[in-house]
Chain A
Amino acid sequence: MENYRASVMLCGGTGCMAGDSLKIKDAFTDELNKRGLSHEINVVITGCNGFCAQGPVMTVYPDDIFYEKVKVADVPLIIEEHFIKGRPVEKLMYKELAKKSAIPLMKDIPFFSLQVLRALRNKGLIDPEKIEEYIARDGYMAAAKALNEMTPEQVIDEMKRSGLRGRGGAGFPTGLKWELSAKVKGGEKFIICNGDEGDPGAFMDRSIMEGDPHVVLEGMLIGARAIGASKGYIYVRAEYPLAVQRLQIAIDQAKEFGLLGDNILGSGFNFDIEIYQGAGAFVCGEATALMRSIEGKRGMPRPKFWRSAVKGLWDKPTVLNNVETFANIPQIILNGASWYTSLGTEKSTGTKVFALSGAINNIGLIEVPMGIPLSKIIYDIGGGVPKGRKFKAVQLGGPSGGCIPESLIDTPVTFEDIVKTGAIIGSGGMVVMNDLNCMVSVSKFFLEFTTEESCGKCPPCRIGNTVLQDLLEKITKGEGEEGDIELIEDISHEIIKTSLCGLGQTSPNPVLTSIRYFRSEFEEHAGDKWCRTGVCKDLCTFYIEEEKCKACGACKRVCPQKAIIGEKKVPHRIDQSLCVQCRSCYTVCKFDSVKIGPRAMRDQLLEQWVSDSGKTVAMAGKEE
């Protein structure tokens, strides 16, 4: 018997025969022959299907698709669409059934179809607390290969050829880092996994450590073999309790299986891993500060006269890679460097995981080939900006990155192209902002974060960022002066040039890119005392444009201050003495009649209000 990949069960009952089902069968046979598919698709005439009213009817197996009222003329279409392209012909499907298949397939939803899972290949598929399930998905096969079939040099060579660059943010080539360390002869060496994920809006590494902890261990094991390390540390913040717990379970299981410990898989290689919990200081994500933290000292970076790969933890050669970097390694060893470079661009190979959040429909974790345009991530995978609001910018790279505006939305996501915009890929946090976000406030938020997290060792970062923050605070309070923006730029460049570590060297990036792309917004804040988004409460006046107001009462209902006055059919008005600039009326108005003006308008409107009503009023809200 032949093996057909599909069968067409064409109804040969009286009703359908009267509807020419035999001619339809001939048409199928002819067309299939013509296209050379006759050995793949089987056409069978069946007894009465029972659904004579919709005849001629047919069912396609194994898809279980039911077509009704099929005509001879439909046959080429069915073969072309269904059997060649794999798309059932909806217009011929039984309507009720067509409705039933309302649940789309993954290939039809861009959120899934545009993703390629490599680092996340076990995402949601395995039980992270069972080593066997990891093994069942080829787990530890790469380690077995690296330990028994490859020399350390071959492993490093494979990594170098794969072009894999550090996924923690800096993008340093992993193979090169390993090679530097491997070249140091003799003595103890260490390998560290950096799981101190700290960027606001980033949760890629947490998800990998929680969902697939063994891939991190296997990546470390391969790295340890390549450089000749006998001990590894996973530095993970204590705020990730589930990650810590699952990593510990994974380590215990790997030890029990002999995949960690002495003479791993009979190779004579010994390696052990220990978890070190960080207290959540952002600076401890910096390699040298992290190593000091493991040494039991205060987490502060050191000047980089020498590389950690040569002299790191306890002054021994130490390789530090990020969680996602390690998650990529087993697949590279197993499938080879050329497999890895089949995706991505020449200088940014493979895939990258991003955490999508902010003003976007599909918040979540995605993995995409490098080189994909930002717009595809935001509109196709992310589903665009919700509630009909407008896209304004996307923040990449957290406190070290920057905001990319709409005009650059087609920028390909590669290390080089993103750096050109002033942002960085960073660890992969992607926060989408809409027209309700004030870019000055966003810059201030990130500076507050870095100022708070600065370790204080070097003055440019400690003092410089504080001064920057004060300047932004001043501008958002309505005390901005001419020259403030230029001063911010000047100080920023100095901080970048003179800071000791990556934290300080990148901390002005958010404010610098925001000024670069949204300079007018900064000028409005500093000069006109106007925050057009209404975020900076001291810089705005909410008022209703009477010609546009339909007097629907929506704003009146949401106002917590009862500051909106107006009857049905009478355009509404905001009592400025009661308004606290909460923005509720602005976001609820469907007719675009609530406007945001500069602060000075408030006094004018208030005077007008007093002269109209002839009373004096006390002001609500903060007055300074």
Chain B
Amino acid sequence: MAKLTIDDLKKIKDNYKATMTVRDGGSRAKVTVHMGTCGITAGARKVMEALLDEISKNNITDTIVTTSGCAGFCSKEPMVTVELLGSSPVKYITMDEDKMRKVVKEHLLGGKIVEDCALVAGNESSY
């Protein structure tokens, strides 16, 4: 790939901002599995597998599935963040395969937050 100029950098920024956010990316939802060392040790890979399995089983095509690092609440890992278009992201804690499947069915498809394993809704303050 050719060398990046500052304009290229800005273009990438604008393009990817769209695909990363639910609102601008044309997706209906985004699911993030937090896979830092803490998350992986606590079983995030199994959670990810269950998520991908449910996504393909249910033929879900309008959802961004992605991984990220530690969400900060290491004692409550594995953690998953689900963001539906137009709502605040919801953080789920101490997830396992069954809970992940339930979250896909009830929250991602049904639009209803699974309260048993939801910790909090909203975005963290950063500035």
Interface residues of A (CB under 8 A from B): 100, 102-107, 109, 111-113, 115-118, 120-129, 132-133, 135-136, 138-141, 144, 148, 203, 206-207, 210-212, 240, 242-243, 256-259, 263, 265-266, 362-366
Contact = CB atoms under 8 A, between A and B. Distances in A.
Contacts of A206: 36-37
B9 to A, nearest CB: 6
A103 B75 contact: no
Contacts of B75: 362-364
Contact of A207 (B1, B12, B17, B70): B70
B12 A124 contact: no
B58 interface: no
B68 A128 contact: yes
B126 A210 contact: no
A461 B91 CA distance: 47
Contacts of A265: 3-6, 9
Most chain B CB atoms below 10 A, which of A113, A259, A364:
A364
Contacts of B6: 144, 148, 265-266
B52 interface: no
Nearest to A113: B125
B68 A124 contact: yes
A266 B17 contact: no
Most chain A CB atoms below 10 A, which of B1, B2, B9, B113:
B9
A102 B113 CA distance: 10
Contact of A106 (B16, B66, B124): B124
Sort A-B residue pairs by CB-CB distance and give the 9 closest, nearest first.
Answer: A211-B69, A106-B122, A363-B75, A117-B126, A136-B16, A124-B71, A258-B3, A132-B16, A121-B126
Given A102-B115, A206-B37, A265-B4, A362 B73 contact: yes
A210 B69 contact: yes
14 contacts: A105-B121, A120-B72, A121-B126, A124-B34, A128-B68, A138-B13, A148-B6, A203-B37, A240-B37, A242-B40, A256-B1, A265-B9, A362-B75, A364-B74
B60 interface: no
A107 B120 CA distance: 9
A567 to B, nearest CB: 41
A89 to B, nearest CB: 19
B56 interface: no
A135 B122 contact: no
Contact of A116 (B34, B113, B127): B127
Contacts of B40: 242
B113 A103 contact: yes
Contact of A124 (B16, B32, B115, B120): B32
A363 to B, nearest CB: 3
Contact of B12 (A132, A211, A363): A132
Interface string B1-38: 11111100100110111001000000000001010111
Nearest to B90: A103
Interface in B63-90: 66-76, 79, 81, 88, 90
B119 to A, nearest CB: 8
Contacts of B50: none
Contacts of B59: none
B50 to A, nearest CB: 19
B61 interface: no
Nearest to A258: B3
Given A117-B125, A124-B69, A210-B69, A144 B3 contact: no
Given A106-B121, A112-B122, A124-B69, A133 B16 contact: yes
A136 B69 contact: no
B122 A211 contact: no
Given A103-B115, A124-B32, A210 B37 contact: yes
B125 A116 contact: yes
A363 B126 contact: no
Most chain B CB atoms below 10 A, which of A102, A210, A242:
A210
A242 B36 contact: yes
Contacts of B90: 103
B123 to A, nearest CB: 7
Contacts of A135: 9, 12-13, 16
Contacts of A203: 37-38, 74
B124 A115 contact: yes
Contacts of A106: 120-125
Contact of B124 (A117, A138, A141): A117
B55 interface: no
Contacts of B79: 124
Contact of B121 (A104, A141, A257, A259): A104
Contact of B9 (A104, A111, A125, A141): A141
A127 B67 contact: yes
Contacts of B113: 103
Contacts of A100: 115
Nearest to B66: A127
A207 B69 contact: yes
A243 B120 CA distance: 28
B120 A105 contact: yes
A403 to B, nearest CB: 22
Contacts of A111: 73
A354 to B, nearest CB: 11
B126 A118 contact: yes
B31 to A, nearest CB: 12
Nearest to B87: A64
B113 to A, nearest CB: 6
Contact of B120 (A103, A116, A122): A103
Contacts of A266: 3, 5-6
